[in-house]
């Protein structure tokens, strides 16, 4: 019995002096684990005489209960101490000044701003927005748009091609957003009024060209759509976008495979003051290309060109953003330099609207 008293003193002392939950677990295993001191003693009960077992049985069970209780009590004390320590070391200084909110530091990229402006202007004229994939087929990027096989106009686009597939088909990065217009004409019933802003790619890189750039194209397909409608749409757009009441425009004959007739469009500008002012002066600045949709293109989309006519136009978003906001170097658009966006970018909550003003 005195051995038991010693064992009890030892185990309870070890429990009291365990100062972490891990150390306490070691004490528990040493006493009550499979090979623990107390467990080993319990195993000897079977070999005892009945009298001996009568006294040792309750004594050992009592000791086991005592040890279990002491372990639980110590565990609670240690857990509370650990929590106290965490609270002390992880305290939050509520008097620190707030970090500035993303609404204060974040900026809208000028390309996104101009896309929002275009969207507001054309939505007001009843246009919807369409989008499509950057990776396209040769058929949608060229053939359906009336680029004949082997025609030099295909080469003029400096296309990024993917390696040919086993069946010989070559995918490419779209060189304009026109394939989305083909997709729209093939999937929607006229009348169609859409604009398509998006990323486009050509293998070209210098001060005024980046291999990835942005275009917006517009398309109207309807019975009796005519060049007068096209002129009105473009004039309304230019006045709203450049925020002037009147603007002179000049339509020069040009060539695109997908329109006939085709025009390049200049807007009136003044270059005398060192910067370009749109809507005043006696100079001209080219801003877009347009034309009546070629009958072959209408036919390639499953429509009858004797029933449906249409007009379309295309312009560079990056270029008109540079013009409107006086940004000199196109390459800086895609350098991801936070100082540039802090200088030229737009505040997140200043959304362009016809009511509030495009660039307010
Ligand atoms: C430019 C000229 C243009 C179009 C794009 C177009 C699309 C279809 C059919 C007919 Cl599906 N035309 N788009 C038409 C004329 C000009 O872009 O200089 N872009 C930067």
The DSSP annotation for 181-223 comes to: HHHHHHHSPSSEEEEEEEEEE-S--BTTB-SEEEEEEEEEEET
Q: Is the CB of residue 258 below 6 angstroms from any atom belonging to ligand 1? A: yes
Q: Which residues contact 333 (CB under 8 A, 6 or more apart)?
A: 109, 110, 111, 210, 318, 321, 327
Q: Which long-range contacts (CB under 8 A, 24 or more apart) does 20-24 make?
A: 20/78, 21/75, 21/78, 21/79, 21/82, 24/71, 24/74, 24/75, 24/78
Closest CA to 111 of 324, 349, 276, 350: 324
Integer Cα distance of 20 and 98 in angstroms = 37
Q: Is the CB of residue 300 below 6 angstroms from any atom belonging to ligand 1? A: no
Q: Categorize the per-residue pLDDT at 208 as very low, low, confident or very high, splitting at 50, 70 and 90.
A: confident
What number is the average pLDDT over the span 320-333? 88
CA 315 to centroid of ligand 1, rounded, Å:
8
CA 20 to centroid of ligand 1, rounded, Å:
75
Residue 157 has pLDDT above 80, yes or no: no
* Per-residue pLDDT, 1: 54
Question: What's the whole-number average pLDDT of the chain?
Answer: 91
Integer Cα distance of 159 and 152 in angstroms = 12
Write the residue with the smallest CA distance to atom 17 of ligand 1.
314
What number is the average pLDDT over the span 309-326? 94
Most ligand 1 atoms within 8 A of CB, residue of 259, 295, 305 to mutate:
259
Which run of H or of E encompasses 113?
helix 110-124
Handedness of CA 331, 337, 341, 342 (dihedral sign): negative
Longest CA span, the chain: 123
Q: What is the chain's Cα-based Rg?
A: 39
| Tokens (6 digits) for 111 | 């390309």
* Per-residue pLDDT, 156: 65
Q: Mapping DSSP to helix (H, G, I), strand (E, B) and coil, where does residue 252 land?
A: strand
What number is the average pLDDT over the span 213-234? 97
Q: Categorize the per-residue pLDDT at 74 as very low, low, confident or very high, splitting at 50, 70 and 90.
A: very high
* Per-residue pLDDT, 153: 66
Most ligand 1 atoms within 8 A of CB, residue of 258, 287, 296 to mutate:
258
Q: Is the CB of residue 147 below 6 angstroms from any atom belonging to ligand 1? A: no
Whether the pTM exceeds 0.85: the reply is no
Q: Mapping DSSP to helix (H, G, I), strand (E, B) and coil, where does residue 109 land?
A: coil
Which of 47-51, 97-101, 155-159, 305-309 has the highest mean predicted lDDT (pLDDT)? 305-309
Is 359 within 8 Å of 125 (Cβ atoms)?
A: no
Residue 103 has pLDDT above 80, yes or no: no
Q: Is the CB of residue 122 below 6 angstroms from any atom belonging to ligand 1? A: no
Residue 98 has pLDDT above 70, yes or no: yes
Beta bridge mates, 206: 209
Q: Is the CB of residue 309 below 6 angstroms from any atom belonging to ligand 1? A: no
CA 291 to centroid of ligand 1, rounded, Å:
7
* Per-residue pLDDT, 91: 80
Residue 21 has pLDDT above 70, yes or no: yes
Q: Categorize the per-residue pLDDT at 191 as very low, low, confident or very high, splitting at 50, 70 and 90.
A: very high
């Amino acid at each position: 019995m005195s051995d038991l008293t010693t064992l009890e003193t030892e185990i309870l002392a070890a429990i009291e002096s365990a100062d972490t939950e891990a150390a306490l677990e070691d004490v528990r295993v040493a006493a009550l684990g499979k090979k623990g001191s107390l467990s080993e003693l319990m195993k000897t009960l079977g070999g005892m005489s009945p009298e001996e077992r009568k006294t040792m049985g309750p004594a050992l069970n009592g000791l086991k209960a005592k040890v279990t209780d002491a372990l639980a009590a110590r565990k609670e004390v240690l857990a509370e101490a650990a929590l106290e320590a965490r609270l002390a070391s992880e305290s939050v200084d509520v008097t620190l000044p707030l970090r500035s909110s993303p609404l204060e530091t974040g900026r809208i990229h000028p390309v996104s701003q101009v896309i929002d402006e275009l969207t507001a202007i054309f939505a007001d004229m009843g246009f919807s927005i369409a989008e499509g994939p950057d990776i396209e087929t040769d058929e949608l990027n060229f053939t359906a748009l009336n680029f004949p096989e082997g025609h030099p106009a295909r080469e003029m686009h400096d296309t990024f091609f993917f390696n040919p597939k086993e069946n010989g088909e070559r995918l490419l990065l779209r060189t304009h957003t026109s394939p989305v217009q083909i997709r729209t004409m093939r999937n929607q019933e006229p009348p169609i009024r859409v604009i398509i802003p998006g990323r486009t790619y050509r293998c070209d890189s210098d001060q005024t060209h980046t291999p990835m750039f942005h275009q917006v194209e517009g398309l109207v397909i309807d019975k009796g759509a005519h060049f007068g409608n096209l002129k009105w749409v473009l004039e309304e757009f230019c006045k709203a976008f450049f925020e002037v009441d009147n603007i002179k425009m000049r339509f020069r004959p040009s060539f695109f495979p997908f329109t006939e007739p085709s025009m390049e469009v200049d807007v009136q500008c003044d270059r005398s003051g060192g910067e370009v002012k749109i809507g005043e002066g006696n100079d001209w600045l080219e801003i877009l290309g347009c034309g009546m949709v070629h009958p072959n293109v209408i036919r390639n989309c499953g429509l009858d060109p004797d029933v449906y006519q249409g007009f379309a136009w295309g312009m560079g978003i990056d270029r008109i953003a540079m013009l409107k906001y006086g940004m000199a170097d196109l390459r800086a658009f895609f350098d991801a330099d936070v100082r540039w966006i802090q200088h030229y970018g737009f505040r997140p909550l200043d959304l362009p609207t016809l009511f509030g003003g495009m660039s307010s």
